[in-house]
Structure 1
Amino acid sequence: MPISNISSSNIIKFVYDDGIAIPYIVRFWIFLISNILSLICCLFVLYQFLFDSNLRRGLHNHVIIVVLFMCLIMELTTIPWKMYLYLYGVAWIQTPTFCMIWKFLDSTLYTTTAKLVGWASVERHILIFHDQWVSTKKKQFFIHYLPLIFIVLYGIVVYGTITPMNGCNRSFYYFITFWGYSSWVYNSLAFGLYEFMTGAILCSILIGFGSIFLVLRVILRKRHLQQQIQWRKHRKMILQLLSVSSLFFVLYLPPVMLAVAHKVGVPSYVGAQYNTYASLFSYYIAFLFPFTCLSTIPELGTRIKNIFRCRWRQQMRSVAPQK
């Protein structure tokens, strides 16, 4: 990935080849269309989850709501900033502070989203097979709410501490993504291994085995527990998890598996081109997540018709002649 240096007086411009054959302008339009559609869907789904009391009170929906808010933040901040870079070839704001804010948001939102989905894969087992663990408000706080709070705060604290650590006065190149910046902490072998194990590996195991084992567990125990478990209610929980997990199976797990292969001896050039494109299309986790949640909303068609019906009535009232 060569960088050619073009200098004129005190201005340094970098023409950067990131190894992706898709031109910047094409990426801009792909991201623009995807972001608009995803943003509309995200707002609609959040509205349904927050203003429908039945959906809002469902414990299994809380982690989904938090992830939707994270997708919303990405679609209003880091993704438009990346689109600006694609369109103009330079950062929107060319300051180290803006660079670190972008890097902090990108790292925090991406890793926290994966951890939350991993936790959701575990929590579904609790809600379906061990609902007595969350039978009281005190139990709900420790088993349900506290893990959510911890996962979110963990990402904020860790990356809020690491990101500002710019060792050796590293230069910022405002013509490439993240300006070639990374905290000096990432150079630490110990932290890199810790981050890889607790982030990529642990999340992949929880998402992969958690969702698959849940389906197998349900199939094996359905006959024995049919009288004790409300299967119609919990079937929605399972389908919701599977729809979300399928997104991570496609966009999250393959790069992690390739990284594991590299660490156990596979040459780094194997899959290098795939990793380059996977990094670009990892944003589609945020783009597609609202749509995976949309399919799990009960009576979706009726809800959409009601929205259009209310809108139509408002328009009719506005054009009605005044008496």
Structure 2
Amino acid sequence: MPLTLHFYLLGYISPASPIYCTWWTAFEYTSFVSSAFLLAAISVQRHMLIFNGPFLKKPWMRTLLHDLPLILCLIYPVLFYLFAIILYPCDGTQWDYTNNGCGFADCYFAFDKVLGTFDMLVNSATPVIIDITANVILIVRVARQKRRLQQSVAWRQQRRMILQLFCLSGLFFVAWMPGVIIMLVQMLYDPMFLLEIQMDYLFDLIDVEYVFLPWVSLAFFPELNKWMKKVFSCRLAINQVGTSRQQQLDSKPVRVVNHSAMN
């Protein structure tokens, strides 16, 4: 996001160098894929927490089914894009310094159709599809359990959790799936397919998740809301006390002492 804002501030890529573009796209892809895999893993793990909670009470099961998948979700994208982008042999002449993200013209997209297709299908599309599917199935399972057990209190708690996951999943789906579909068509069939729309709109759509994610967090995490209100109310009270003291000092009359009369 900071690099994107820097581009829009200048209107061009600066510094216009292959190294800058390589690290920019590597960081962008690694951040997204890590987030997408984490969200997909958490969505699947929610099923175990709600319906198979006792399994995770055993330390080895918790490590195997909870901790290890989350660690892999962080390590795998770093290693993949280290080899696919940073260490991939490339002369750097393919970058577009007039578009956001240097046109996201990484060499493995342009010259390695197998690796590029694998990246789009496995790293981009698959976690989003798993995430959406897991959340839809979770909603159905929770609704069936509510109807069977009539647990209104538990349903209210689970409903908030489902809304959290569904909103996060929706952000990733809206931000990335249109671009993923178009890039797959470009790699497999027509390199010029919707290229202008992709450059002008879809690459910018990626930043939607970064803009709206804080608002989603505020809407569905009441503890965070309370903490922020407490912090801002304390700062406001301190500012008001400081202002009132300054006003009192300014309103006090200044006593002028005539030294000549005293002498």
Pairwise TM-score range, normalised by the shorter structure: 0.7 to 0.9
Q: Which of 62, 66, 73 is residue 151 of structure 1 equivalent to?
A: 73
Stretches of structure 1 lacking an aligned partner (at least 5 in a row): 1-78
**Cα shift at 1:105:** 0.6
Range moving further from structure 2, 251-260 or 187-196: 251-260
CA displacement 1:161-215 (0-9 Å, x = unmatched): 2222353523255444444574443322321232122123312321221111111
The separation in 2 between residues aligned to 1:293 and 1:140, in whole angstroms, is 26
Map 1:116-131 to 2 at 5 A: 116-131=38-53
Alignment of 1:245 with 2:173, yes or no, is no
Residue type of the alignment partner of 1:205:
I
Identity among equivalent positions (%) equals: 26
One-letter identity of the residue aligned with 1:111: V
Please point out which of 275, 290, 295 is paired with 2:198: 275
Deviation at 1:300, TM superposition (A): 6.3
1:223 aligns with 2:147: yes
| Structure of higher RCO (CA pairs closer than 8 Å, 6+ residues apart) | 1
Name which of 216, 235, 246 aligns with 1:292.
216
Structure-2 separation of matches of 1:82 and 1:241: 27
Partner of 2:9: 87
- Which structure has the highest helix share of the two? 2
Residue 138 of structure 1 is matched in structure 2 by: 60
Q: How does 1:1-323 map to 2 (within 5 A)?
A: 79-165=1-87, 167-171=89-93, 174-179=97-102, 182-186=105-109, 187-226=111-150, 230-257=154-181, 272=195, 274-276=197-199, 277-298=201-222, 302-316=226-240, 318=242
Change in CA separation of 1:230 and 1:193 when aligned onto 2, cut-off 3 Å: same
Q: Note the C-alpha offset of 1:292.
A: 1.4
Structure-1-length-normalised TM-score = 0.63
AA aligned to 2:112 is: S
Q: Does the 8 Å contact 2:175/2:207 carry over to 1? A: no
Corresponding pairs, count = 242
The aligned amino acid for 1:108 is T
The two structures have a TM-score, normalised by structure 2, of 0.76
2:222 match: secondary structure: coil
- Evaluate the alpha carbon distance shift between residue 296 and residue 152 of structure 1 in structure 2; reply closer, same or farther with a 3 A threshold: same
* Deviation (angstroms), 1:303: 4.0
For residues 135 and 141 of structure 1, the distance between their equivalents in structure 2, rounded to whole angstroms, comes to: 10
**Does the C-alpha gap of structure 1 residues 140 and 225 become closer, same or farther in structure 2, counting only changes over 3 Å?**
farther
2:141 aligned counterpart, secondary structure: helix
Shift in alpha-carbon separation, 1:164–1:254, aligned structure 2, 3 A: closer
Find the aligned partners of 1:254 and 1:156 in 2 and give their Cα distance: 24
Give 1:269 deviation, angstroms: 6.4
Q: Which amino acid aligns with 1:245?
A: S
Letter in 1 for 2:209: I
- Mean alpha-carbon deviation: is it higher for 250-259 or for 102-111? 250-259
Q: Which moved more, 1:253-262 or 1:118-127?
A: 253-262
Structure 1 or 2, whichever has the larger Rg, is: 2
Displacement of 1:144 in angstroms is 1.6
